[in-house]
Amino acid sequence: MTRAQKMVAQALITIGLLGAVWVAVERVMVEETNNTVGMTVDWAEVEETAAAAGVSSADMLVALQSGGATHLAVSERSIGELVERGEIALFRSGDRVDILAGDANVIQQVTRALQARFPGDYERRQAAEGELWLNAPAQAVSSADTGAGYPRAALEAAERAGLSVVARPSSAGVRTSQAVQRVIEQAADTGADVIVFSGDAIVGFPRLVETAAATMQAHELTFGMIEMSPQRGAAALSTQLDHQVVRVHSITAEEMATYPVGRAVERFVRAARERGVRLLYLRLLPGGPEGLVEGNAMYLAHVREGLREVGLTLGVPAPAQPFSAPPWHLAIVTLGVCGGFLWLLQALFGLPGRWYWPIAGVVVLVGAGGMFVAAGLLRDVAALAAAIIFPTIAVAWCARGLTAGAEGPRNIGAVMPRLLGAFLAVSGITLFGGLLVVGLLGDSAYLVKVEQFRGVKLAHLLPIVAVAAVWLARSMDAYQEQIADAGPDMVDYHTGDTVPEWPALWAGLRRALNAVVVYWHVAAAFVGLAVVAMLLLRSGNEAIGAILPMEMELRSALDRFLGVRPRTKEIFLGHPLMVLAILLAIRRVRRGVWLLFAVGVIGQVSLLNSFCHIHTPLMLTLLRVFNGLWVGLLGGLVLCGLWDLFGGAPEPEPEPLPQASLEFDEDEDLT
């Protein structure tokens, strides 16, 4: 790579990073102004728990409010539930049905709910014995799941306890635009400020989502979007609401039956702190040594104190301020990805100027200019490209450029500055890619996780494969023979032309693939595949089954000790092995170093992947990355010490390892 080509690539990356930092600052401002969290309990559980404790539901609710509850979730009761509770009785006769109730409030709520869903003739009457009757179309009660209104006792109890209402309308029986409007209006009549729909679908799904959104906006209702178990139509409704929603987290009643209280508290606090959840839907404990009333009040109080300790306040949650990056801003950030691509292109192929400059022009035009035409598609493609390119450049080329040259001292203390500098520089290049992802995915849709980073598996797998292939090829004699005449900048001694590295890499790979396979190679391959498979399985919040035994306790301990836990694959695997690989590369050891780099890149991939979780507050992500770097670096230094203690410091290979075309001087600005 010529000096002019290097300067252009660095300039593009610098411009892109400046644009990404701009987006990052705006995002942090949005995140820091949205720190109010609500805690809601469920009315049905309050009734059940109060009955088991021998107290009134109102008294139970007051105790929970003293523990920290801010909201009461009131679900729309179904026809079947009212029949089961004995509050109504049904008497069918042809195409009509008589509904008997002993409470005027119940018959009023049933009438409104059924009329909203099934227009027709409804007649109410009162018998001489004080019985209340409603004559309605039989179709209105054909399904036991049909919504039948909200219990007045719950709304009155919430008002006395000073709790806001979370309305939970049912979508059962809602088939028309008019029904959608009326059902949501009835939810608003409860005095609710938040709606969390009951069941597995929102009211209005699939064809009337726009009507639902317009009605909610007209009544100033906030949509509570359940995370991890999304309801059908939730993403479409969020889009119609311009992503002005609050994320909701809950633990199912079945889980709470056996879930440790301390872990439940940590889980709720972590959801609010790390994933932008602003409404916690707390299921009540089935029992405990403190009793049902006091035990649940204490449980809520622990969640409340945990929220306060991490800087969050209790109250009525509100959506975050709208946040988005215009196409011209995305175009600026994309220039950084274009620079990284051109850097990688020249590192491999060393194209002459007559090829490089036209290609550079096309890349910039398509990448940056395309944002004005198809930003929705290209921003995801550019983010995926950044996630693949920058860890690959960092470990496959920058690591080599920073460790090549004269052999380092055999004493680890003497080589320490060079070792630390190389590790931090490699991690810095990866960090650049993470910041570009932040700039490209700066949008409210990503903050509430309606949209999310695509290509997670590819972003994990491809850098590992690329780094393993590049370093394996460099460990072969065939590679050394191909670049025998190349100088430290991959420039031919005799002609002064740039020497493309690709032919040498291909020669090295061919030699490696033709090598004799022994038993330990097969065993190592199986271990490597198992590690990669585990990495891919664990690459998401939903990969609960891939968590190792005792890992949750370890995570909790790291959270308490460090404030924000680093990722385990960084501090226990990726970063330590990367430090060891760099040390051996400085000592010009070739055999087996490729494997250390291949595994070490897992830490770099994980570092960048932290920035792909856009719903996690950015400042927390930066702190997580920082903790991962210094803890992983300490682990790497310990590993290097153990290597020298038990493995000895091997003699260097006779052939020197030349620098790549991406070599940087120690005092050269990497941006």
> What DSSP line would sit under 384-400, residue for residue?
HHHHHHHHHHIIIIIHH
- Of 301 and 543, more confident: 301
Half-sphere exposure (Cβ direction) of 156: Cα atoms closer than 13 Å: 6
Distance (Å, whole) CA 398 – CA 6? 13
Distance (Å, whole) CA 197 – CA 187? 10
- Of 663 and 349, more confident: 349
pLDDT at 296 over 50: yes
Distance (Å, whole) CA 583 – CA 412? 8
Distance (Å, whole) CA 334 – CA 432? 12
Q: Are 653 and 408 in contact (CB under 8 A)?
A: no
- Of 657 and 140, more confident: 140
Write phi, then psi, for 248 (nearest 5 degrees): -120, 135
- Secondary structure of 234-266 as H, E, C letters: HHHHHHHCCCCEEEEEECCHHHHCCCCHHHHHH
pTM: 0.88
Q: Considering the chain, what is the average pLDDT of its residues?
A: 87
Report the share of the chain in percent with pLDDT over 70.
87
Give the model's confidence band at 659: pLDDT under 50 very low, under 70 low, under 90 confident, else very high. very low
Q: Are 384 and 458 in contact (CB under 8 A)?
A: yes
Indicate the length of the chain as a whole number. 671
Q: According to the model, what pLDDT value does residue 271 have?
A: 94
Q: According to the model, what pLDDT value does residue 315 have?
A: 95
pLDDT in tens, 620-637: 999 999 999 999 999 999
Give the model's confidence band at 192: pLDDT under 50 very low, under 70 low, under 90 confident, else very high. very high
Distance (Å, whole) CA 319 – CA 315? 13
Place of tokens 């004493």: 411
In the three-class reduction of DSSP (H, G, I as helix; E, B as strand; rest coil), residue 483 is classed as coil
Task: State in Å, rounded, how far the first CA of the chain is from the last one.
Answer: 16
CA-closest candidate to residue 67, choices 316, 307, 295, 278: 295
Strands (DSSP E) contained in 272-404 are 277-282, 313-314
- Of 281 and 671, more confident: 281
Write phi, then psi, for 440 (nearest 5 degrees): -75, -30
Give the model's confidence band at 521: pLDDT under 50 very low, under 70 low, under 90 confident, else very high. low
Q: According to the model, what pLDDT value does residue 342 have?
A: 95
The average pLDDT across 187-196 equals 96
Q: According to the model, what pLDDT value does residue 564 have?
A: 87
- Of 57 and 592, more confident: 57
Determine whether 80 is exposed, middle or buried from the number of CB atoms within 10 Å of its CB (0-12, 13-18, 19+).
Answer: middle
Half-sphere exposure (Cβ direction) of 81: Cα atoms closer than 13 Å: 15
Place of tokens 């022009």: 361
Rg over CA atoms, the chain: 31
Give the model's confidence band at 494: pLDDT under 50 very low, under 70 low, under 90 confident, else very high. low
Distance (Å, whole) CA 113 – CA 109? 6
> What DSSP line would sit under 621-671, residue for residue?
HHHHHHHHHHHHHHHHHHHHHHIIIII--PPPPSS--PPPTT---TTS---
* Conformational region of residue 652, where left means phi above 0, alpha means psi within -120 to 50, and beta covers everything else: beta
The first and second tokens of residue 12, run together, are 């593009």
pLDDT at 534 over 70: no
The first and second tokens of residue 355, run together, are 């090829």
pLDDT at 490 over 80: no
pLDDT at 260 over 50: yes
pLDDT at 493 over 60: no
Q: Which residues pair with 201 in a beta bridge?
A: 232
Q: Are 284 and 256 in contact (CB under 8 A)?
A: yes
Distance (Å, whole) CA 249 – CA 315? 16
Lowest mean pLDDT among 545-549, 571-575, 580-584: 545-549
pLDDT in tens, 352-401: 888 999 999 999 999 999 999 988 889 999 999 999 999 999 999 998 88
Q: According to the model, what pLDDT value does residue 661 have?
A: 42
Q: According to the model, what pLDDT value does residue 525 have?
A: 64
The secondary structure element, H or E, covering residue 45 is helix 43-53
pLDDT at 665 over 50: no
Alpha helices in 54-176 (DSSP H): 57-67, 79-84, 104-117, 152-161
Distance (Å, whole) CA 393 – CA 400? 10
Burial 441-480 (b: 16+ CB within 10 A, else e): bbbbbbbbbbbbbebbeebbbbbbebbbbbbbbbbbebbb
Distance (Å, whole) CA 578 – CA 570? 10
CA-closest candidate to residue 168, choices 97, 207, 221, 120: 221
In the DSSP assignment, the letter for residue 582 is H
Report the share of the chain in percent with pLDDT over 90.
65
pLDDT in tens, 555-565: 777 777 888 88
The average pLDDT across 461-481 equals 90
Give the model's confidence band at 131: pLDDT under 50 very low, under 70 low, under 90 confident, else very high. confident
pLDDT in tens, 417-454: 999 999 999 999 999 999 999 999 999 999 999 998 98
Give the model's confidence band at 347: pLDDT under 50 very low, under 70 low, under 90 confident, else very high. confident
Q: According to the model, what pLDDT value does residue 559 have?
A: 77
Q: According to the model, what pLDDT value does residue 481 have?
A: 81
